[in-house]
Amino acid sequence: MLYNLTDVFTSPDITTEQVMDFTRDEYECDGQSYEIVKKEPVHLVFSNIGKGKAKVNGHCAFSFAMQCDRCLKDVTTEIELDFEYEVKSPETEMTEEEKEEQSFMKGYQFDADEVINNEILMKWPMKVLCSDDCKGICPVCGNNLNDGDCGCDSFVPDPRLAKIKDIFNANKEV
Ligand SMILES: [Zn+2]
Ligand SMILES: [Zn+2]
């Protein structure tokens, strides 16, 4: 959703609050699509902080359907966003760097969806686990080891080490 900030840029000390619903139900990350299972309305506050300058504060929280990296169990991960940006009116003089930093501004309009997408990406977890001590999946039979031990001999020896062991055993027999 786009918010026109013309009034905020031109009216000293004005503060306006907006509540918006993030319309998307899915989030794309690394070529994968994640369902948004829960979302709070997005609260946005726009404040004038000088001639042609505004501050944007935002808060919201989303829950995504993910999978445990070790055992593939379904996990719901909440990501809470709290952001603050200072933006300038397009009439104000800006360096190239400043323009780039507020690339989510489309002229006088603040692109809330673009900011929220970027903020989610920045907070995206590097690792998703159902619990810190998740035991993962048995490499032999595929059993979820959190449900109990399957009894497989999951020790897969390095073939080079196995050879040394053979030699060792052979010598012992002599
Ligand atoms: Zn797990
Ligand atoms: Zn097993």
Give pLDDT, residue 57. 98
Q: Please name the residue that has the structure tokens 């940006």.
A: 85
pLDDT of 173 above 60: no
Give the ligand with the smallest distance to the CA of 73. 1
Domain residue extents for the chain: 2-123, 136-174
**Tokens in use for 173?**
């027999």
What's the 144 CA to ligand 1 centre distance in angstroms?
8
Among the bound ligands, the one closest to the CA of 135 = 1
Per residue in 74-104, pLDDT (tens digit) is 999 999 999 999 999 999 999 999 999 999 9
Tell me the CA–centroid distance for residue 77 and ligand 2, in Å: 28
pTM, entire model = 0.80
Cα-to-centroid distance, 149 and ligand 2 (Å): 7
Which ligand is the nearest neighbour of the Cα of 154? 2
- CB count, 10 Å around CB of 157? 10
Rounded Cα distance, 6 and 28, in Å: 32
